[in-house]
């Protein structure tokens, strides 16, 4: 059974296919057609809906509004949450402020993307602080519009977010929180053939009972198997209701992220410790995807073009693996064994990811190169983490995506440059030469092998330029926080 | 009716002030933001609706030996399966020329060609079943490039040439002091309407059929459905309320799905919906044509062109579709706003084993126009002049010439004035200086700037399409229902039409309801395309209104015993007035009803002045031109090829704007779409002819962060010198080509590496990879001590 709120109504689902998406549920089961399907792959945002859940901070408990792409969200993800979609916003007589703003700014043309934009605007409208233009772009980064050119949408969003949220949802917050609290008391038991364990032990038992079941966390990649490839899915086991997989801890040596934490929950702490990697974190897919996709999922998926593995490689992260009986740790550099193959044994899962904290003598940068700046997959991703003592290189760890069959590091870079003066031209040129030859990337739809090799070398050039103490050379067309 | 409705009355005389030429909201905006604006997939389905999917070929060319559909038939939920053999009527649905079979007919012509269709009890089951067909094909090596098409002489249509005198061109080349040549590979473009292709067919009594479709051309859907089903046109009714984007991609490409749905609906006597999933839509529907063009120019030391030779190669895909007119339009725009001297322009229509490329905003115009701008840059670098100076030097005018390569006189050229205004207001020369200073100090990041014009011809070049019809009803409460042949795809056509009707009757906008486009209300309509929607249908609606106003005026004058003065009756502010007498509009309507006056009228319009002789390649294919100018400033990263479009300034000519907000929306949206075409939108086919940029993850249209930080769009505000509807101008396509300034600015930034001596080769789309390659090419030329 999965229990959740649709707007203000408690809904229970006892029977649903594992591969039923939230969008299908809304359009086909509930016959609410305001939410649109544009791509069924999480790339366009026409299907954006909002899930709210209680979040407790120092200022008390309040509702947190998150956008998700309903086309790749499974029903297990909505348990215990409030689902809000476009039909819920106006009160029948008056438009919601975000709707009013978009109308007044002439922000809809064909209107097909509009409900998705409205929901992203609505979630941003309920954020804690007044957004600036960049915040608006980030919040709407997962919504494509083919008609307007976006300018009126940006203006409308900026305008409506000038004032603090004041709508029927704010007014009903206490009641909604209380209802959600009452839902929380029931652990989900899954529906049909999607199972939702809430403990390590249950997870172990379910894996034993369904040895062929796939494990799923954010479902942002796995869903494509049935929405795009039309594969039939028998049984899924969801990892997102196990509290132990969603913990964050930090001590003086390291920071540990539960594997089932969505990237948008990982981001604040990760960027708190490693502000230098903002480019990768903020350009990882789009906000709705980051609201769903988990850090563990991005690692376990072992895609050669995922953006987290290169970062974790360069940061020398350690993976905590578990099978319900015993736990072990594996350095991430040893985890990827082949194209989408890893050290995970059958029945084993990633429970947490531990990252050693940055030392003061380390310089760190993360770069992502793609055709489009936002919501695109890396043609090349490069992360450099160089330890420099008295101007000399003591250690280099690195991580690269898009250049090999797995996320990969370059030990040659380290062995060649260790002991070299970082500011030397030799260090620049040797590094470029090594990286140009380090890998044998492929030609594909995103880039040619030659471009990947050249850019990889040039990213070392950029890194070298950006970290010279005297250099004031501009190296970026887009600045990241 | 025995007793008429009471008409509510509000005494606000100012409400009607400025119903046209003002920024009225999009008629559907409030419903769109609430999710209550319905698209085809949102319509409540009739009981027993079944769902269709198409099975696709897995090679690009060959002869079909057999199609084994046993596994499809046995698949869960399957109700029916059809191939071309099951078509009772016409098997070919080509819009102008034959060549587009409804389903593959004996041979495979491109990778992903629909071969069979399946009907099942759910969308997913139908799509799953469609994967199970076994299509046995004897494969032949496909033609996948312009070179190969030329080598094998495969064309979908014969070439076309403008009627010029090649001896004079030869002489001009022989006598000129300066020569240059160049070629450009121009990428196509996926429409990426957010709403994919979809049709719902509902069978009616006997062999009648009702179709809901997302189409820019309901009349053609009606005709093709009738032909496929082998019934007369009057048995088929097509209803089209709105599209979730069209951009040309639903001009001919929507019909196939309607026909297949109708075929299955007819066979199974149930409603059938066929909605293509995105991953199918991208394989099976045509795109903007890729082009491979080249030019030779002769010019003098001031950069003035004396003669031009140009070869235009449209890569058309497997069938003619609309390619004849598209390559023609590329040729018509190869001059953009410039006098090309004695010219020789040839356009080829290459046949390749790809999906048949089709209409897309600009309709070949952009692929021609970019050549004119490429030539300007080429000349500028050759003579060491600023590209803007070269552009100004070559504009149509007294010092150059006023006749286009196709013999049309340029009568009301706004470009000199518009360029002057933008150059000054957006500080071209100051910014040019600042950019040069920046580039001197910045070794990695380089900036570039460009100001480019647009001159775009307005009218269908197929003369007969320049007609439109309308049907206007006035009901006895004074409310007015307007139907016309145009379709609403987001461009605000219905809003403008509503404004026109309200203005004609002098009533408030809420008295007007513009209904869904229906083939049973206005017959034999043209597609909503060529930017012509408002020009044609607006005039047709106006004419219907004029007819009705004449009847009402006569009725009113008669009631005042002033029949001779009927022509003086005024309609404004909700009243109808004659001299000191006035009556509320609804009251006059009721009076007219009792006086047995018809309150319904059709209207018709045809564009005047058009005459183009395709045999001589000369004439006046366009009623008028729409103009625009844009200035773009970019930054490029010479280490990665990444770039940003930093500032954009636009002045665009929409004549007397019917609705400034909607027009600005069209301009901004077109600019960004054009920018996407030239930058990140990268169609890729593999060596087997399979499209590999086949979804939104691999084909990248501009996202919100690509919006230039400074993006200023201004309307020029000069009324159309021709008698268009309220002297406005068409706006759908022309601003698309304003984005060419982005491409030129990228080249300008790259050229800075050579001290502006080299015009870089930058094929489109200018992806970061292409920009980096162009940078590397200049750096290598430089290290060899090379120059221009």
Q: What percent of chain A has pLDDT over 90?
A: 91
> Residue B402's domain is classified under what CATH number?
3.30.365.10
Query: How far off is chain A from B27, nearest CA to CA, in Å?
Result: 10
Q: Are residues B87 and B218 in the same domain?
A: yes
Q: Which residues of A touch B439 (CB under 8 A)?
A: none
Query: A230 and B124: CB-CB below 8 Å?
Result: yes
| The last residue of a domain, from among B606, B640, B665 | B606
Q: Which residues of A touch B124 (CB under 8 A)?
A: 230
- pLDDT value of residue B787: 43
Q: Which residues of A touch B702 (CB under 8 A)?
A: 149-150, 372
H or E stretch covering B212: strand B209-213
Average pLDDT over residues A51-57: 94
pLDDT tens column, A72-115:
999 999 999 999 999 999 988 999 999 999 999 999 999 999 99
Decide if A431 touches B, using CB distance below 8 A: no
Query: B665 and A109: CB-CB below 8 Å?
Result: yes
pLDDT tens column, B294-322:
999 999 999 999 999 999 999 999 999 99
pLDDT tens column, A287-342:
999 999 999 999 999 999 999 999 999 999 999 999 999 999 999 999 999 999 99
Q: What are the backbone dihedrals phi and psi of residue A171, each rounded to the nearest 5 degrees, phi first?
A: -60, -35
Query: A475 and B444: CB-CB below 8 Å?
Result: yes
Q: How far is CA B403 from CA A351, B190, B395, B413, B640, in A?
A: 74, 34, 11, 12, 44
Query: How far off is chain A from B401, nearest CA to CA, in Å?
Result: 36
Residue of A50, A368, A372 to mutate, testing the B interface (most B Cβ within 10 Å of its Cβ) = A372
Average pLDDT over residues A456-478: 91
Chain mean pLDDT for chain A? 95
- Furthest-apart CA atoms within chain B: distance in Å: 93
> Residue B250's domain is classified under what CATH number?
3.90.1170.50
Query: B696 and A473: CB-CB below 8 Å?
Result: no
Count up the domains in chain B and report the number. 3
Decide if A436 touches B, using CB distance below 8 A: no
- pLDDT value of residue B13: 47
Query: How far off is chain A from B694, nearest CA to CA, in Å?
Result: 10
How many Cα atoms sit within 13 Å of B777 on the Cβ side?
16
Q: Are residues B601 and B621 in the same domain?
A: no
Query: B665 and A373: CB-CB below 8 Å?
Result: no
Q: Which residues of B touch A90 (CB under 8 A)?
A: 34
Nearest C-alpha neighbor of B57 from the set B355, B420, B469, B460: B355
pLDDT tens column, B740-755:
999 999 999 999 999 9
Q: Are residues B421 and B481 in the same domain?
A: no
| B555: Cβ contacts below 8 Å, ≥ 6 apart | B588, B591, B592, B595, B597
Decide if A111 touches B, using CB distance below 8 A: yes
Query: How far off is chain A from B659, nearest CA to CA, in Å?
Result: 11
Q: How far is CA B109 from CA A266, B130, B224, B561, B736, in A?
A: 50, 19, 21, 71, 31
pLDDT tens column, B315-354:
999 999 999 999 999 999 999 999 999 999 999 999 999 9
Q: What 8-state DSSP symbol labels residue B142?
A: P
Decide if A112 touches B, using CB distance below 8 A: yes
Decide if A466 touches B, using CB distance below 8 A: no
Q: Is residue B192 in some structural domain?
A: no
CA nearest B246 in A: which residue? A110
Q: What percent of chain B has pLDDT over 90?
A: 96
Closest CB from B34, B696, B772 relative to A44: B696
Q: Are residues B54 and B102 in the same domain?
A: yes
Q: Is residue B664 in some structural domain?
A: yes
- pLDDT value of residue B725: 98
Q: Return d(Cα B291, Cα A433) in angstroms, integer.
A: 37
Whether A194-238 shares its CATH topology with A362-466 is answered no
Query: How far off is chain B from A288, nearest CA to CA, in Å?
Result: 14
Decide if A365 touches B, using CB distance below 8 A: no
Residue of B25, B34, B664 to mutate, testing the A interface (most A Cβ within 10 Å of its Cβ) = B34
Fold (topology level) of A2-184? Ubiquitin-like (UB roll) (3.10.20)
Establish whether the linkage from the previous residue to B476 is cis, with ω within 30° of 0. no
pLDDT tens column, B225-263:
999 999 999 999 999 999 999 999 999 999 999 999 999
Q: Are residues B642 and B740 in the same domain?
A: yes
Q: Are residues B536 and B641 in the same domain?
A: no
- Print the SS3 string covering chain A: CEEEEECCEEEEECCCCCCCEHHHHHHHHCCCCCCCCCCCCCCCCCCEEEEEEEEEECCEEEEEEEEEEHHHCEHHHHCCCEEECHHHCCCCCCCCHHHHHHHHCCCCCCCCCHHHHHHHHHHHHCCCCCCCHHHHHHHCCCCCCCCCCCHHHHHHHHHHCCCCCCCHHHHCHHHHHHHHHHHHCCCCCCECCEECCCCHHHHHHHHHHCCCCEEECCCCCCCHHHHCCCCCCCCEEECCCCHHHHCEEECCCEEEEECCCEHHHHHHHHHHHCHHHHHHHHCCCCHHHHHHCEHHHHHHCCCCCCCHHHHHHHCCCEEEEECCCCEEEEEHHHCEEECCEECCCCCCEEEEEEEECCCCCEEEEEEEECCCCCCCCCCEEEEEEEEEECCEEEEEEEEEECCCCCCECCHHHHHHHCCCECCCHHHHHHHHHHHHHHCCCCCCCCCCHHHHHHHHHHHHHHHHHHCCCCCCCCCCCCCCC
Query: A140 and B711: CB-CB below 8 Å?
Result: no
| The last residue of a domain, from among B208, B240, B275 | B275
Contact assessment for residue A257 and residue A214, using Cβ atoms and an 8 Å cutoff: no
Q: For residue B15, is pLDDT > 70?
A: no
Contact assessment for residue B290 and residue B186, using Cβ atoms and an 8 Å cutoff: yes
Q: Which residues of A touch B194 (CB under 8 A)?
A: 36, 38, 44, 46, 110, 112-113, 144-146
Nearest C-alpha neighbor of B516 from the set B28, B25, B19: B28
Q: Is residue B157 in some structural domain?
A: no
H or E stretch covering B674: helix B660-678
The three-class DSSP label of residue B135 is strand
DSSP H helical segments within B218-353, as ranges? Answer: 218-229, 255-268, 278-284, 323-332
- pLDDT value of residue A308: 97
Nearest C-alpha neighbor of B732 from the set B678, B669, B675: B669
- pLDDT value of residue B91: 98
- Of residues A189 and A404, more confidence is placed in A404
Query: How far off is chain B from A406, nearest CA to CA, in Å?
Result: 19
Geometric angle at alpha carbon B608, from B602 and B610, rounded to 5°: 130
DSSP string, B63-108: EEEEEE-HHHHHSTTEEEEE-GGG-SS-SB--SSSS--BSS--SEE
The 10 Å CB-count burial string (b at 16+, else e) for B428-449 is beebbeebeeebeebebbbbbb
Closest CB from A232, A445, A461 relative to B639: A461
Q: Return d(Cα A123, Cα A144) in angstroms, integer.
A: 17
Nearest C-alpha neighbor of B192 from the set B244, B152, B156: B244
Q: Are residues B619 and B599 in the same domain?
A: no
| Domain A194-238 part of CATH 3.30.43.10 | yes
Q: Which residues of A touch B661 (CB under 8 A)?
A: 106
Q: Confidence band (pLDDT; 50, 70, 90) for A59?
A: confident
Domain chopping of chain A, boundaries: 2-184, 194-238, 243-356, 362-466
Q: For residue B12, is pLDDT > 60?
A: no
| A470: Cβ contacts below 8 Å, ≥ 6 apart | none
Q: What percent of chain B has pLDDT over 70?
A: 98
Query: A372 and B680: CB-CB below 8 Å?
Result: yes
| A64: Cβ contacts below 8 Å, ≥ 6 apart | A52, A53, A54, A55
Closest CB from A40, A110, A465 relative to B194: A110
Q: What are the backbone dihedrals phi and psi of residue B680, each rounded to the nearest 5 degrees, phi first?
A: -100, -15
Closest CB from B194, B242, B704 relative to A140: B704
Q: What 8-state DSSP symbol labels residue B754?
A: G
Q: Which long-range contacts (CB under 8 A, 24 or more apart) does A214-217 make?
A: A215/A239, A215/A300, A215/A349, A216/A74, A216/A76, A217/A259, A217/A260, A217/A293, A217/A294, A217/A296, A217/A297
CA nearest B28 in A: which residue? A111
Closest CB from B195, B636, B682 relative to A112: B195
Residues linked to residue B139 through DSSP beta bridges, in sequence order: B62
Contact assessment for residue B628 and residue B734, using Cβ atoms and an 8 Å cutoff: yes
CA nearest A37 in B: which residue? B195
- Contacts across the A-B interface (CB distance below 8 Å): 253
- pLDDT value of residue B786: 47
pLDDT tens column, A336-347:
999 999 999 999
Contact assessment for residue A146 and residue B245, using Cβ atoms and an 8 Å cutoff: yes
Decide if A473 touches B, using CB distance below 8 A: yes
Which CATH number is associated with domain A243-356?
3.30.465.10
Structure-token pair, residue A134: 């960049």
**Catalytic annotation on B733?**
yes
pLDDT tens column, B49-94:
999 999 999 999 999 999 999 999 999 999 999 999 999 999 999 9
Average pLDDT over residues A33-42: 98
Average pLDDT over residues A19-26: 96
Closest CB from A106, A374, A473 relative to B25: A106
Q: Confidence band (pLDDT; 50, 70, 90) for B11?
A: low
Residues 26-55 of A with CB under 8 A from B: 32-41, 43-44, 46
Closest CB from A89, A103, A149 relative to B25: A103
Closest CB from A140, A147, A478 relative to B669: A147
Q: Is residue B155 in some structural domain?
A: no
- pLDDT value of residue B10: 54
Query: A475 and B639: CB-CB below 8 Å?
Result: yes
Q: Are residues B115 and B243 in the same domain?
A: yes
Q: Return d(Cα A142, Cα A372) in angstroms, integer.
A: 13
Q: For residue B272, is pLDDT > 90?
A: yes
Q: Is residue B25 in some structural domain?
A: no
Q: What are the backbone dihedrals phi and psi of residue B428, each rounded to the nearest 5 degrees, phi first?
A: -55, -50
Which residue is catalytic, options B195, B710, B733, B769?
A: B733
| A244: Cβ contacts below 8 Å, ≥ 6 apart | A199, A200, A258, A351
Q: Return d(Cα B358, Cα B288) in angstroms, integer.
A: 6
Residue B8: count other Cβ atoms within 10 Å of its Cβ. Answer: 8
Q: Which residues of A touch B709 (CB under 8 A)?
A: 133
Enter the ipTM: 0.97
pLDDT tens column, B89-109:
999 999 999 999 999 999 999
Domain housing B746: 291-461+614-783
Decide if A106 touches B, using CB distance below 8 A: yes
pLDDT tens column, A221-279:
999 999 999 998 889 999 999 999 999 999 999 999 999 999 999 999 999 999 999 99
Q: Are residues B475 and B534 in the same domain?
A: yes
Q: Are residues B455 and B479 in the same domain?
A: no
| Domain A362-466 part of CATH 3.20.20.140 | no
For B18-22, B480-484, B605-609, which range has the lowest pLDDT when averaged over its residues? B18-22
Q: Is residue B620 in some structural domain?
A: yes
């Amino acid at each position: 059974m999965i229990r959740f709120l649709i707007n203000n109504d408690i809904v229970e689902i006892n029977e649903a296919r594992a591969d039923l998406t939230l969008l299908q549920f809304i359009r086909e089961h509930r016959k609410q057609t305001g939410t649109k399907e544009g791509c069924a792959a999480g790339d366009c945002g026409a299907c954006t809906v909002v899930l709210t859940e209680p979040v407790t901070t120092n200022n008390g408990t309040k509702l947190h509004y998150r956008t998700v792409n309903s086309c790749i969200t499974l029903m297990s993800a909505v348990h215990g949450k409030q689902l809000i979609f476009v039909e819920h916003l106006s009160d029948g007589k008056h438009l919601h402020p975000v709707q009013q703003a978009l109308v007044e700014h002439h922000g809809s043309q064909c209107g097909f993307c509009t409900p998705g934009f409205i929901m992203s605007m609505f979630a941003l409208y309920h954020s804690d602080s007044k957004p600036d233009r960049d915040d608006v772009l980030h919040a709407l980064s997962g919504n494509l519009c083919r008609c307007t050119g976006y300018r009126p949408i940006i203006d409308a969003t900026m305008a409506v977010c000038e004032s603090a949220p004041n709508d029927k949802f704010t007014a009903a917050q206490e009641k909604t929180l209380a209802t959600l609290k009452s839902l929380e008391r029931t652990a989900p038991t899954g529906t049909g053939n999607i199972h939702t364990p809430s403990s390590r032990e249950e997870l172990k038992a379910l894996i034993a009972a369904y040895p062929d079941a796939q494990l799923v966390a954010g479902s942002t990649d796995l869903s494509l198997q049935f929405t795009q490839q039309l594969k039939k899915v028998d049984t899924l086991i969801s990892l997102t209701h196990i509290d132990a997989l969603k913990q964050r801890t930090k001590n003086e040596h390291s920071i540990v992220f539960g594997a089932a934490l969505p990237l948008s929950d990982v981001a604040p702490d990760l960027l708190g410790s490693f502000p230098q990697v903002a480019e990768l974190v903020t350009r990882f897919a789009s906000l709705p995807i980051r609201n769903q996709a988990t850090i563990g999922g991005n690692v376990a998926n072992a895609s050669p073009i995922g953006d987290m593995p290169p970062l974790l490689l360069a940061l020398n992260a350690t993976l905590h693996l578990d099978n319900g009986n015993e736990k072990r740790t594996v350095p991430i550099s040893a985890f990827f064994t082949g194209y989408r193959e890893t050290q995970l044994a059958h029945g084993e899962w990633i429970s947490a990811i531990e990252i050693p904290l940055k030392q003061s003598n380390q310089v760190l940068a993360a770069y992502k190169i793609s055709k489009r700046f936002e919501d695109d997959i890396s043609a090349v991703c490069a992360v450099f983490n160089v330890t420099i003592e008295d101007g000399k290189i003591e250690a280099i760890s690195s991580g690269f995506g898009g250049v090999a069959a797995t996320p990969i590091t370059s030990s040659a870079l380290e062995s060649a440059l260790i002991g070299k003066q970082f500011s030397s031209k030799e260090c620049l040129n040797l590094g470029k030469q090594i990286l140009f030859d380090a890998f044998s990337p492929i030609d594909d739809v995103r880039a040619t092998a030659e471009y990947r090799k050249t850019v990889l070398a040039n990213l070392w050039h950029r890194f070298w330029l950006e970290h010279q103490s005297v250099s004031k050379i501009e190296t970026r067309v887009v600045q990241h926080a | 009716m025995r007793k008429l409705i009471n008409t509510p009355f509000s005494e606000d005389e100012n409400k009607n002030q400025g119903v046209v030429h003002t920024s009225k909201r999009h008629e559907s905006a409030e419903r769109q933001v609430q999710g209550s604006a319905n698209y085809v997939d949102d319509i409540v389905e009739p009981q027993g609706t079944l769902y269709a999917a198409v099975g696709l070929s897995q090679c690009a060319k060959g002869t079909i030996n057999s199609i084994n559909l046993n596994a499809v038939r046995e698949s869960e939920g399957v109700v029916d399966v059809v191939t071309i053999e099951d078509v009772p009527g016409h098997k070919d649905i080509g819009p102008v020329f034959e060549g587009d079979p409804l389903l593959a007919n004996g041979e495979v012509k491109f990778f992903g060609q629909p071969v069979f269709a399946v009907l099942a009890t759910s969308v997913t089951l139908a799509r799953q079943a469609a994967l199970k067909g076994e299509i046995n094909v004897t494969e032949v090596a496909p033609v996948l490039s312009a070179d190969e098409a030329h080598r094998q002489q495969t064309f979908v249509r014969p070439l076309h040439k403008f009627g010029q005198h090649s001896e004079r061109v030869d002489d001009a080349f022989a006598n000129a002091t300066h020569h240059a040549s160049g070629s450009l590979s121009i990428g196509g473009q996926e429409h990426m309407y957010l709403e994919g292709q979809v049709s719902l067919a509902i069978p009616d009594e006997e062999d009648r059929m009702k179709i809901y479709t997302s189409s820019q051309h309901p009349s053609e859907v009606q005709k093709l459905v009738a032909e496929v089903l082998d019934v007369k046109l009057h048995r088929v009714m097509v209803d089209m309320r709105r599209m979730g984007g069209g951009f040309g991609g639903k001009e001919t490409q929507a019909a196939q799905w309607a026909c297949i749905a109708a075929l299955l609906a007819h066979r199974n006597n149930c409603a059938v919906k066929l909605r293509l999933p995105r991953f199918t839509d991208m394989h099976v529907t045509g795109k903007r044509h890729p082009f491979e063009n080249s030019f030779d120019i002769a010019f003098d030391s001031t950069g003035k062109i004396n003669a031009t030779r140009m070869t235009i190669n449209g890569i058309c895909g497997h069938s003619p579709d609309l390619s004849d007119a598209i390559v023609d339009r590329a040729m018509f725009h190869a001059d953009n706003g410039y006098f090309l001297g004695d010219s020789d322009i040839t356009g080829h229509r290459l046949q390749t084993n790809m999906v048949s490329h089709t209409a897309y905003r600009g309709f070949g115009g952009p692929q021609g126009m970019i050549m004119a701008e490429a030539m300007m840059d080429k000349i500028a670098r050759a003579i060491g002049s600023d590209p803007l100076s070269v552009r100004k030097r070559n504009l149509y005018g007294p010092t150059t010439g006023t006749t286009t390569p196709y013999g049309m006189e340029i009568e009301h050229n706004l470009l000199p004035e518009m360029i002057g205004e933008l150059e000054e207001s957006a500080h071209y020369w100051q910014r040019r200086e600042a950019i040069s200073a920046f580039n001197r100090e910045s070794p990695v990041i380089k900036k570039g700037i460009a100001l480019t014009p647009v001159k775009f011809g307005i009218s269908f070049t197929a003369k007969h399409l320049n007609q439109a019809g309308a049907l206007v009803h006035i009901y006895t409460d004074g409310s007015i229902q307007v139907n016309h042949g145009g379709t609403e795809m987001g461009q605000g056509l219905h809003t403008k039409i509503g404004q026109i009707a309200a203005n004609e009757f002098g009533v408030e906008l809420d008295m007007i309801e513009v209904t869904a486009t229906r083939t049973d209300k206005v017959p034999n309509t043209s597609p909503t395309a060529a930017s012509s929607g408002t020009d044609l249908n607006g005039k047709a609606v106006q004419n219907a209104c004029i007819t009705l106003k004449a009847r009402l005026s006569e009725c009113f004058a008669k009631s005042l015993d002033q029949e001779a003065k009927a022509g003086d009756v005024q309609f404004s502010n909700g009243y109808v007035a004659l001299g000191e007498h006035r009556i509320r509009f609804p009251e006059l309507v009721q009076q007219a009803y009792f006086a047995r006056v018809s309150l319904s009228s059709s209207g018709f319009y045809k564009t005047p002045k058009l005459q183009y002789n395709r045999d001589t390649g000369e004439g006046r294919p366009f009623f008028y031109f729409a103009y625009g100018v844009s200035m773009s400033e970019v930054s490029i990263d010479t280490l990665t090829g990444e770039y940003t479009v930093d500032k954009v300034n636009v002045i665009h000519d929409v004549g007397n704007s019917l609705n400034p907000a909607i027009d600005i929306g069209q301009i901004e949206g077109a600019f960004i779409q054009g920018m996407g075409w030239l930058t990140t939108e990268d169609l890729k086919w593999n060596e087997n002819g399979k499209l590999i940029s086949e979804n939104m993850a691999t084909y990248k249209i501009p996202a919100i962060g690509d919006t230039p930080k400074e993006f200023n769009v201004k309307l020029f505000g000069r009324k159309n010198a021709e008698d268009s509807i309220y002297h406005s101008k068409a706006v759908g396509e022309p601003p698309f080509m304003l984005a060419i300034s982005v491409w030129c600015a990228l080249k300008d930034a790259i050229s800075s590496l050579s001290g502006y001596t080299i015009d870089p080769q930058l094929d489109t789309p200018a992806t970061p990879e292409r920009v980096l390659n162009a940078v590397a090419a200049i750096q290598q030329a430089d290290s060899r001590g090379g120059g221009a």
